[in-house]
Structure 1
Amino acid sequence: MTAIAVLGNGRVGSSLAESLTRAGHEVTVADRSPDSAADAVRTARIVINATPGAGSLERLAALREELRDRILVDVSNATVDGPDRLPADLLYPGSSLAERLQEALPGTRVVKTLNTMLYTVMTAPAALTQAPTAFLSGEDPEAKQVVRGLLTDLGWHQEWITDLGGIGTARATEAAILFVPHVIRSGGFTPFAVSITR
């Protein structure tokens, strides 16, 4: 059992919290208020950023001391939305939210994952017709190994998880969010994910 704090109580955060609780972890969910987030982080070993990506950097930078020595699992994408409220552009072109978080939180081990799929796939990867891929980006091998374990608890097979390397590789997976509006417009709001087949 691991103490996990989920920052963000929307569809993504709630779904992850429910699934990780079922897997036997001690999960605390914080809303967007600074006090709620700080209280949750203080008692956690792992923190999951499921807050809206456009405001994540500011929110988490304010928790710099509380996040020290924690593993921060970042599942958010920082985008500029179009008129239909779907992602239209990246908020940090030439960089990524994960890189900005690692720069702002040098005492925290940031791992990017689960950001290349519709949120329902994060906790039910086997529901798709073919195996999806979950990517890992981060500087700390031990932290990525811990996150691999969490993904397994969420139903991900080890062969479905691909370690891309350092945190700089997150800019590639975050850019994949630009596929999303086109996929939704062409096929509807149905579960999908990026899949690497070999």
Structure 2
Amino acid sequence: MTTIAVLGNGRVGGGLATALLRAGHEVTVADRTPGVAADAARGAQLVINATPGAGSLERLTALREELRGKILVDVSNATVDGPDGLPAELIHPGSSLAEQLQEALPDTRVVKTLNTMLFPVMTAPSALAQSPTVFLSGEDPEAKQVVRGLLSDLGWQQEWMTDLGGIESARATEAAILFVPHVIRASGFAPFAISITH
């Protein structure tokens, strides 16, 4: 059992918290209120960033002390939305939210994952007709191993997990968010994920 703080209580954070509780972890969900988030992060072994990506860097940088020495699982994408409310461009072109977080939080082990799919797939990957892929980016092998365990608890099989390497590889998976509005316009709001087949 891991003590987990989920920062963000929307569809993403709520879904992850429910699934991780069901898997036997101790989970606290915090909204974006600074004091509430700080308390949750302070008492956790692992923190999940499920806050809207546009404000995540500022929000989490303010928790530097609470996040020191901990694993930060970043599932957010930092984008500017278009008129239809769907992602239109990246806030950190040539970089990524995960890289910015790792630079701002040098004593925290950032792992990027679960950001290349619509949110229902995060906790129900086997519901898709074909096997999806979940990617991991981060500098710390031990932290990524812990996150692999959490992914297993969410229903991800080991063969569906691909470790892309260091945190800089997150810029590739974060850029994949630009697929989303086009896929939704073409296929409707149905669960989907990026899948790498061999």
TM range (shorter): over 0.9
Equivalent residue of 2:135, what SS? strand
The corresponding residue for 2:20 is 20
User: Which runs of 5 or more structure 2 residues have no equivalent in the other structure?
Assistant: none
Cα displacement (A) at 1:100? 0.1
Q: Quick check: 1:106 aligned with 2:117?
A: no
Cα displacement (A) at 1:111? 0.1
Cα displacement (A) at 1:125? 0.1
Q: Stretches of 4+ moved more than 2 A in 1?
A: none
The corresponding residue for 2:56 is 56
CA distance in 1 between counterparts of 2:45 and 2:167 reads: 20
CA distance in 2 between counterparts of 1:103 and 1:94 reads: 15
The number of residues matched between the two structures is 198
Deviation per CA, 1:19-67: give whole Å up to 9, x if none. Answer: 0000000000000100010000111000000000000000000000000
One-letter code aligned to 2:47: V
The corresponding residue for 2:171 is 171
CA distance in 1 between counterparts of 2:41 and 2:92 reads: 26
The corresponding residue for 2:128 is 128
One-letter code aligned to 1:136: L
Cα displacement (A) at 1:142? 0.1
- Counting aligned pairs with the same residue, the percent is 81
Over the aligned positions, Cα root-mean-square deviation in angstroms equals: 0.3
Matches within 5 A, 1:1-198: 1-198=1-198
CA distance in 1 between counterparts of 2:42 and 2:63 reads: 10
User: Which runs of 5 or more structure 1 residues have no equivalent in the other structure?
Assistant: none
One-letter code aligned to 2:120: T
One-letter code aligned to 2:89: D
Cα displacement (A) at 1:147? 0.1
CA distance in 2 between counterparts of 1:108 and 1:157 reads: 27
Cα displacement (A) at 1:97? 0.1
